[in-house]
């Protein structure tokens, strides 16, 4: 059986030549934002990667093919399909491929596909984590475990306050996942620059982050690393504005959603409750993450060249 992996030609050439490539996920497109903001954000994130001199590779499973480097037309299909497509993580990735079906990849599944393709840097919006009330529900995203297994550096804007941020950082520490915040001592809270939770470490150098990634590989340390990039100051929404909306959405979700549909439900309600105000911040932070990821990927490819 051959590997059900279809890598776009431009992405393949870049990887062969040791040039920088940045993976992008597709669950943020199908389940993370409403249409048409989702496709607009996906398109501008890919352009942001290009403007920094790297090649973007958006990842999804399309009719049973793990696709690394989607066309705009394919992205548009996923964007319009929204939450009707399967949401894929480590547990259900192979079953979707075996059934020949289509699904969008979460952070965990995107890391798996990126690693198979040979991509080491990945930009997303927010990662999954430990949900509020996890002490009763046991709901902890498979993204955290994936970060401890698969060697991909993931750039995100921290975690939304729909999650329990201190518990999320505790689990990452337990799993041995390095967490670095770019240019700030505070771990960011997605729409807000600071969560009032200190980041385990801080760096202001993409080269140093790239060096740490390489060093971990040389040391034989399994897994990836998390790079948290605070939303640009001019696009931030203060926690005081977001928190009441989050509380409301999380309370509603308690009656109406569990399991894999929990995160999409809460995200959808927050969009509605904030009347699109969060969409602008979301798009801005995604672009900023795409740029930072491209710079890390460029430094990594330089370091490999001079190694
Ligand atoms: N958090 C966000 N936006 C998102 C997601 C999380 O702020 O779009 C998506 C990502 O694809 C992430 C997934 O990997 O939700 C996590 O889902 P779960 O909590 O069911 O593991
Ligand atoms: Mn979950």
The DSSP-derived string for 134-161 is: HHHH--B-HHHHHHHHS--EEEE-B--T
Q: Whose Cα sits closest to atom 10 in ligand 1? A: 106
| 274 Cβ neighbours under 8 A, 6+ residues apart | 237, 242, 245
Asked whether 158 lines ligand 1 (CB < 6 A), one says no
Report d(CA 233, CA 184) in Å as an integer: 12
User: Is the Cβ–Cβ distance between 243 and 231 less than 8 Å?
Assistant: no
User: Is the Cβ–Cβ distance between 187 and 166 less than 8 Å?
Assistant: no
pLDDT of residue 1: 73
* C-alpha 246 to ligand 2 mean position (Å): 17
pLDDT per residue, tens digit, the chain (307 aa), is 788 999 999 999 999 999 999 999 999 999 988 899 999 999 999 999 999 999 999 999 999 999 999 999 999 999 999 999 999 999 999 999 999 999 999 999 999 999 999 999 999 999 999 999 999 999 999 999 999 999 999 999 999 888 999 999 999 999 999 999 999 999 999 999 988 899 999 999 999 999 999 999 999 999 999 999 999 999 999 888 998 999 999 999 988 998 999 989 998 899 889 877 788 899 999 999 999 999 999 999 999 998 7
pLDDT of residue 29: 95
Return the number of other C-beta atoms located less than 10 Å from residue 143's C-beta: 26
| 127 Cβ neighbours under 8 A, 6+ residues apart | 107, 141, 143, 144, 147, 154, 156, 159, 226
Ligand with an atom nearest the CA of residue 141? 1
User: Is the Cβ–Cβ distance between 143 and 152 less than 8 Å?
Assistant: no
Q: What are phi and psi of 163, to 5 degrees?
A: -100, 165
Q: What are phi and psi of 167, to 5 degrees?
A: -70, -35
Residue with tokens 């995203």: 141
Task: Clarify whether 160 is annotated catalytic.
Answer: yes
Point out which residues pair with 105 in neighbouring strands.
88
Question: Which atom number of ligand 1 is nearest to the Cα of residue 141?
Answer: 21
Task: Please tell me whether residue 261 adopts helix, strand or coil conformation.
Answer: helix
Asked whether 224 lines ligand 1 (CB < 6 A), one says no
Report d(CA 151, CA 93) in Å as an integer: 18
Task: Please tell me whether residue 12 adopts helix, strand or coil conformation.
Answer: helix
Task: Clarify whether 25 is annotated catalytic.
Answer: yes
| 248 Cβ neighbours under 8 A, 6+ residues apart | 269, 273
Output the pTM of the full model: 0.97
């Amino acid at each position: 059986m051959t590997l059900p992996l279809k890598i776009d030609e431009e992405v393949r050439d870049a990887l062969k030549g040791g040039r920088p490539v940045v993976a992008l996920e597709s669950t943020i497109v199908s389940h993370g934002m409403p249409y048409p903001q989702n496709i607009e954000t996906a398109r501008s994130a890919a352009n942001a990667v290009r403007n920094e001199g790297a090649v973007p590779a958006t990842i999804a499973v399309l009719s049973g093919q793990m696709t690394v480097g989607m066309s705009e037309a394919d992205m548009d299909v996923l964007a319009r399909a929204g939450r009707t497509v399967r949401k894929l993580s480590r547990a259900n990735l192979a079953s979707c491929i075996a059934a020949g079906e289509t699904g969008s990849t979460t952070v965990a599944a995107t890391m798996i596909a990126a690693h198979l393709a040979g991509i080491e840097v990945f930009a997303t919006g927010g990662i999954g984590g430990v949900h509020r009330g996890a002490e009763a529900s046991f709901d902890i995203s498979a993204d955290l475990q994936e970060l401890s297994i698969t060697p991909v550096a993931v750039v995100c804007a921290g975690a939304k306050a729909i999650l329990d941020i201190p518990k999320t950082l505790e689990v990452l520490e337990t799993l041995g996942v390095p967490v670095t915040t770019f240019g700030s001592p505070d771990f960011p809270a997605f729409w807000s620059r600071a969560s009032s939770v200190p980041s385990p470490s801080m760096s202001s150098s993409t080269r140093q982050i790239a060096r740490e990634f390489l060093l971990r590989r040389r040391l034989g340390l399994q897994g990836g690393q998390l790079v948290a990039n605070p939303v640009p100051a001019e696009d931030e929404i203060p926690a005081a504005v977001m928190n009441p909306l989050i509380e409301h959405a999380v309370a509603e979700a308690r009656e109406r959603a569990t399991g894999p549909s929990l995160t999409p439900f809460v995200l959808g309600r927050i969009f509605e409750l904030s009347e699109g105000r969060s969409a602008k911040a979301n798009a801005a932070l995604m672009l900023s993450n795409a740029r930072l990821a491209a710079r890390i990927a460029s430094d990594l490819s330089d370091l490999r060249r001079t190694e």
